[in-house]
Amino acid sequence: MTNSREPSDPGFEQRVRDSFGRQRLMATLGAGLVRVSAGEVEIEMPFADHLTQQHGYLHAGVVTALVDSACGYSALSLAPSGTEVLTVEYKVNFLAPARGDRFVARGRVLRSGRTVTVCSGDVVALVGAQATPVAAMLATIITVSASSAAGAAADRA
């Protein structure tokens, strides 16, 4: 097991940005990469009416999508060149209604292994400069060869 935050791929930031650019959902959410470092990634999005639940707050699924991507890219930032990452599972606790002007999700690698990476994530809602924690995630991600991840026969290992 390596817990070092030394990226094995020096081009990790560009690689994360390229993959993020291919996630059509991120554009649909209006989300952008704020920060990409080795083992930690932040994504931000504004509030939007078309993404709400029945009380007018951001839908839990959108909050989850944001922090899932943040966790996944924190894992990818440490993955060797020629590999891809797949989310095996995650758990999210919702701490407060997702009410705010903007939302920032952060993903961090807790444990980086050859096959299994464990990440923790959180989301804060911002009203002006005031931040309220709205979600906490614990996620399991696996690293696979790029060909098996993208291929038509991909089986999520």
Q: Given the rule CB under 8 A, which residues bind its own copies? A: 1, 19-20, 22-25, 27-28, 49-55, 59-62, 64-66, 68-69, 86-97, 110-111, 113-116, 118, 120, 133, 136, 138, 140, 142, 149-150, 154-157
Distance between CA atoms of 75 and 46, rounded to whole angstroms? 24
Residue with smaller CB distance to its own copies, 55 or 129: 55
Q: How far is the CB of 35 from its own copies (least distance, A)?
A: 19
Beta strands in 6-63 (DSSP E): 32-37, 40-46
Other CB atoms within 10 A of residue 61 CB: 12
Nearest to 39 by CA among 86, 8, 7: 7
Q: How far is the CB of 10 from its own copies (least distance, A)?
A: 21
Residue with tokens 């935050």: 5
Residue with smaller CB distance to its own copies, 20 or 38: 20
Distance between CA atoms of 63 and 72, rounded to whole angstroms? 14
Please give the full DSSP string across 64-81, using - where no structure is assigned: HHHHHHHHHHHHHTTSPT
Residue with smaller CB distance to its own copies, 35 or 156: 156
Q: How far is the CB of 152 from its own copies (least distance, A)?
A: 9
Q: How far is the CB of 149 from its own copies (least distance, A)?
A: 7
